Amino acid sequence: MESTTLTSRFGKIINGNVATPMLVVALLAMVILPLPAFMLDMLFSFNIALSLTIVLASVYVTKPLQFAAFPTILLLATLLRLALNVASTRIVLLEGHTGTGAAGQVIEAFGEFVIGGNYAVGLVVFAILVIINFIVVTKGATRIAEVSARFTLDSMPGKQMAIDADLNAGLIDQDEARRRREEIMQESDFYGSMDGASKFIRGDAIAGILILFINIIAGFIIGVLQHGLSFSEAAHNYTMLTIGDGLVAQIPALLLAAAAGLLVTRSTKDQDIGEQIVSQLFKEPKTLALTSGIIGGMGLIPGMPNLPFLLLASVGGSAAWLMSQRQKAATLAAAAPSPQEVSREQRELSWDDLSPVDPIGLEVGYRLIPLVDKNQGGQLMNRIKGIRKKISQEMGFLIPPVHIRDNLDLPPTAYQVTLFGVTFGEAEVYPDRMLAINPGQVFAQLDGISVKDPAFGLDAVWIEPSQREHAQAQGYTVVDVDTVVATHLSKILQNHAHDLLGREEVQHLLDNLGKVAPKLVEGLVPDTVPLGTVQKVLQNLLQENIPIRDIRTISEAIAEQAVRNPDPDAITTATRMALSHSIVQHINGTQSDLPIITLDPELEQILLRTLQASGEGGASLEPGLAENMHRNLQDAAQRQEMAGESAILVVQAGLRGWISRFIRHAIPGLHVLSYNEIPDDKQIRIVANVGR
């Protein structure tokens, strides 16, 4: 028990706030205090092991943010290497006259074994390592980190807009939106830190060159003047020790520079580097087969190294053939009919073979199948579940499941949304591209396929994924194909929620209400009104985007009005009055004042006389009057939208239903209320008056 407690406490000390200060103190001690040769060997070995660990960790992460501590680790590793340089320089200059083993076995091994004891070769190897590290790897990693930091910062507004769009469409919840915003901030901080941390690697490479020349010159002077060594002996000892020390330091430095380059060049795909290379480089057997053919042709040329080329060509050709056979087998397996389909064809046709029409259907072309196939990494199914949950909670009833199927009659990249077998929306998308949507205030042009956003009809461009950062920096909202389809489906379900409310759904609502208010439900259906009337009233509310979550208030209003007038429209009007607070809050929030648009009294009288003569059909309304009225209402609604306020038209109760149907599809952002539906605690503010 005591052993476990001590181990736990020791682990907390190592993993807690004590570890980093202890490391800084240890680095300071290495600079100040002389270290024995054995301790140098252990620290140099640890430095190499640490560098290898960092490189492998950079290889196996799937996203750069999974190694967000890399800039700090890079700084600490650089400080450790510089402290070791100071410690090794001290012992080389103090004990170098005794021989090449004065600074430990690690430095001696790199000086004797790695470069064969020839310090001229060692100088060349050291120079090459420094050039590779300083000019190639470090400079490239620094530039990539700098550009990534700049583009990440520029694209933050576009990414924030994309998150808000997903949140408003119901594709994500508040927690997921918060997590994505934090990830954007972390990504910006990470690339900014990488931009600064890369400078440490460049400075370390320059320091390595200076330390080399200082050690050789100072060691030669000390060996000759203080210890009486000959010129050749002093040059040999101190040069070998210095080169060994430089190689021991530069190899970990090169590994860290490579790790920084690997990390900042990572894509955001959820695969490590090895999986990406194998899946993308060897995706097509034709590439490997053509390469093998060229290498084999070179191997047949007289004078060329025939055996290596021919051996490599045979291996590559065999691998290409195996890959081709596997792909053919996978294609045949996918195309082969399942045993259930075979057995269905063999038996007689029955009523069970006639499948009912799906309430909600999503039909996709064959190239869009990976979007809805979980086995191929498709995420559209999860997004559709999120849409159903969000709309069900907002509207107050359970949205039916979405039945997804492939349709070979559609173009390969097209889809269509159906409700009870009727197509209500269709569009064509591009799985290998992203959709950049112009929110209305962006004038920069993008290279791509210009289209209209299928959900809201906004101008949009299908762009290559590599253009995403540039488009977001210009102000476009960039979304993937899953979001395009999911948003379109969400829009259709919201606009046609009333079509999805059947008698089964109404009965479920009443059954749930009966658990908390049994007497209300018992006296409502069928004693007061039939179930069909309740369904019609609820559909009327949903058709004007009024939620039916407060089913108790709705049922009480239906029960009270149905005794006086059983007409569904009259019941709907009474129900709207009972829900007046909820309706106004749904439209205008919790603001105390209500900006409204009114009709000129003369125009209202004309409309009332027309409706009385035509029975609310509006068929005899003068075309010129209807056109002017429509244009004036649309202008007033647009002014309200530009002012950031809700567009609300308030009319007499007898006109409300007809005007609502008149502008429902033409001006979808304009809400129509009657004076009776405005709560007493709301102060109205007339912002426009529409006349003839």
**What is the share, in percent, of the chain residues with pLDDT greater than 90?**
24
Q: Is the pLDDT of residue 197 over 60?
A: yes
Closest CA to 571 of 521, 544, 533, 545: 533
Pairing of strands 647-651, 670-674: parallel
pLDDT in tens, 403-416: 998 888 899 999 99
Total count of residues recorded for the chain: 692
Quick one: pLDDT at residue 409? 87
List all residues 6 or more positions away from 522 whose beta carbon is below 8 Å from its beta carbon: 514
**How does residue 190 score in pLDDT terms, banded at 50, 70 and 90?**
confident
Question: C-alpha angle with apex 224: 221 to 226, nearest 5 degrees?
Answer: 85
Quick one: pLDDT at residue 499? 92
| Cβ neighbourhood burial of 353 (10 Å; 0-12, 13-18, 19+) | exposed
AA identity, residue 282: F
Here the tokens at position 573 are 């009007």
Query: Do 215 and 238 meet the contact criterion of CB atoms below 8 Å apart?
Result: yes
This prediction's pTM: 0.54
C-alpha pair distances (Å), 612 with each of 568, 616, 623, 625 = 19, 7, 18, 17
Quick one: pLDDT at residue 64? 74
Highest mean pLDDT among 301-310, 574-583, 653-662: 574-583
Quick one: pLDDT at residue 269? 55
Query: Do 313 and 295 meet the contact criterion of CB atoms below 8 Å apart?
Result: yes
Query: Do 446 and 158 meet the contact criterion of CB atoms below 8 Å apart?
Result: no
* Distance in angstroms (rounded) separating the CA atoms of residues 395 and 390: 9
Q: Is the pLDDT of residue 285 over 70?
A: yes
pLDDT in tens, 562-572: 989 989 999 99
* Distance in angstroms (rounded) separating the CA atoms of residues 458 and 440: 8
**How does residue 672 score in pLDDT terms, banded at 50, 70 and 90?**
very high
Question: C-alpha angle with apex 453: 438 to 547, nearest 5 degrees?
Answer: 105
* Distance in angstroms (rounded) separating the CA atoms of residues 600 and 587: 23
Architecture of domain 579-692: 3-Layer(aba) Sandwich (3.40)
Lowest mean pLDDT among 528-532, 621-625, 680-684: 621-625
Q: Is the pLDDT of residue 345 over 60?
A: no
Q: Is the pLDDT of residue 688 over 50?
A: yes
3-class state of residue 202 by DSSP: helix
Read off the pLDDT of each residue in 352-381 and give the average, rounded to a whole number: 84
Percent helix, strand and coil across the chain, each to the nearest 5: 65, 10, 25
3-class state of residue 528 by DSSP: coil
Here the tokens at position 285 are 């057997």
**How does residue 2 score in pLDDT terms, banded at 50, 70 and 90?**
very low
List all residues 6 or more positions away from 404 whose beta carbon is below 8 Å from its beta carbon: 361, 362, 363, 364, 372, 381, 384
* Distance in angstroms (rounded) separating the CA atoms of residues 562 and 513: 19
Strands (E), 414-527: 414-419, 422-428, 434-437, 449-452, 459-463, 477-479
Lowest mean pLDDT among 148-162, 173-187, 271-285, 642-656: 271-285
* Distance in angstroms (rounded) separating the CA atoms of residues 401 and 356: 14
Q: Is the pLDDT of residue 613 over 80?
A: no
Name the residue with tokens 């397996």: 333
* Distance in angstroms (rounded) separating the CA atoms of residues 422 and 586: 30
Lowest mean pLDDT among 39-53, 204-218, 313-327, 469-483: 204-218
Quick one: pLDDT at residue 346? 55
What class, spelled out in words, does domain 355-497 have in CATH?
A: alpha beta
Read off the pLDDT of each residue in 5-11 and give the average, rounded to a whole number: 46
3-state secondary structure 369-426: HHHHCHHHCCCHHHHHHHHHHHHHHHHCCCCCCEEEEECCCCCCCEEEEEECCEEEEE
Highest mean pLDDT among 86-90, 314-318, 489-493, 604-608: 489-493
pLDDT in tens, 419-473: 998 999 999 999 999 999 998 778 888 999 999 999 988 899 999 999 999 999 8
Quick one: pLDDT at residue 546? 92
Read off the pLDDT of each residue in 106-114 and give the average, rounded to a whole number: 68
Equal CATH topology for 355-497 and 501-567: no
* Distance in angstroms (rounded) separating the CA atoms of residues 475 and 248: 49
Average pLDDT of the chain? 80
* Distance in angstroms (rounded) separating the CA atoms of residues 196 and 71: 8
**Which residues are paired to 449 by β-bridges?**
462
DSSP string of 156-200? HHHHHHHHHHHHHTTSS-HHHHHHHHHHHHHHHHHHHHHHHHHHH
Instruction: Give residue limits of the domains in the chain.
Output: 35-276, 282-324, 355-497, 501-567, 579-692
Here the tokens at position 587 are 């439209």
**What is the share, in percent, of the chain residues with pLDDT greater than 70?**
81
| Cβ neighbourhood burial of 210 (10 Å; 0-12, 13-18, 19+) | exposed
Stretch (H or E) spanning 614: helix 601-614
Here the tokens at position 440 are 């209305």
3-class state of residue 460 by DSSP: strand
Our separate counts of H helices and E strands in the chain read 28, 12
Query: Do 241 and 102 meet the contact criterion of CB atoms below 8 Å apart?
Result: yes
Pairing of strands 593-599, 670-674: unpaired
3-class state of residue 671 by DSSP: strand
pLDDT in tens, 485-514: 999 999 999 999 999 999 999 999 999 999
3-class state of residue 450 by DSSP: strand
Peptide bond into 526 cis (omega under 30): yes
Query: Half-sphere exposure of residue 320, counting CA atoms within 13 Å on the CB side?
Result: 17
* Distance in angstroms (rounded) separating the CA atoms of residues 267 and 254: 22
Quick one: pLDDT at residue 452? 93
Q: Is the pLDDT of residue 6 over 60?
A: no
Lowest mean pLDDT among 252-261, 545-554, 563-572: 252-261
Comparing 364 with 272, which gets the higher pLDDT? 364
List all residues 6 or more positions away from 28 whose beta carbon is below 8 Å from its beta carbon: 83
Q: Is the pLDDT of residue 260 over 90?
A: no
CATH number of 501-567: 1.10.8.540
Query: Do 547 and 498 meet the contact criterion of CB atoms below 8 Å apart?
Result: no
Name the residue with tokens 């959900």: 455
**How does residue 7 score in pLDDT terms, banded at 50, 70 and 90?**
very low
**How does residue 272 score in pLDDT terms, banded at 50, 70 and 90?**
low
Read off the pLDDT of each residue in 233-256 and give the average, rounded to a whole number: 76
**How does residue 347 score in pLDDT terms, banded at 50, 70 and 90?**
low
**Which residues are paired to 672 by β-bridges?**
649
Quick one: pLDDT at residue 1? 43
